[in-house]
Amino acid sequence: MEGGQNRSVAPSYLGWSIFNTLCCCLPLGIAAIVCSCKAQNANAIGESAIAKDASRTAKILNVIGLVCGIILIIIFIALKATQMK
């Protein structure tokens, strides 16, 4: 391949980050959006190492945020179910 075409593009996970911010865990979602934007910007200027690191951080934050959101939803449903009795 010719110069510049061999570099890999790290995923940004921006859509997942926005979903987590709106539906699961606001603080972790905002941090994930910041990392996602950092990954996108680093991809755009060709800084693949920075992009991969930011992408990895965004993914970890999204996984933790999603798990926290699911746990909170389960707790909320359980509390509402026990109040109905």
pLDDT in tens, 52-66: 999 999 999 999 999
Is position 2 within any domain?
no
- Give dist(CA 4, CA 27) in Å, integer: 36
Residue 85: per-residue pLDDT: 64
3-class state of residue 1 by DSSP: coil
Q: Is the pLDDT of residue 4 over 60?
A: no
Beta strand residue intervals within 1-85, DSSP E = none
Residue 84: per-residue pLDDT: 76
3-class state of residue 72 by DSSP: helix
Is position 7 within any domain?
no
Number of domains into which the chain is organized: 1
Is position 8 within any domain?
no
Is position 1 within any domain?
no
**pLDDT tens digits, 13-70:** 999 999 999 999 999 999 999 999 999 999 999 999 999 999 999 999 999 999 999 9
Q: Is the pLDDT of residue 2 over 90?
A: no
Is position 5 within any domain?
no
pLDDT band at 1 (very low <50, low <70, confident <90, very high): very low
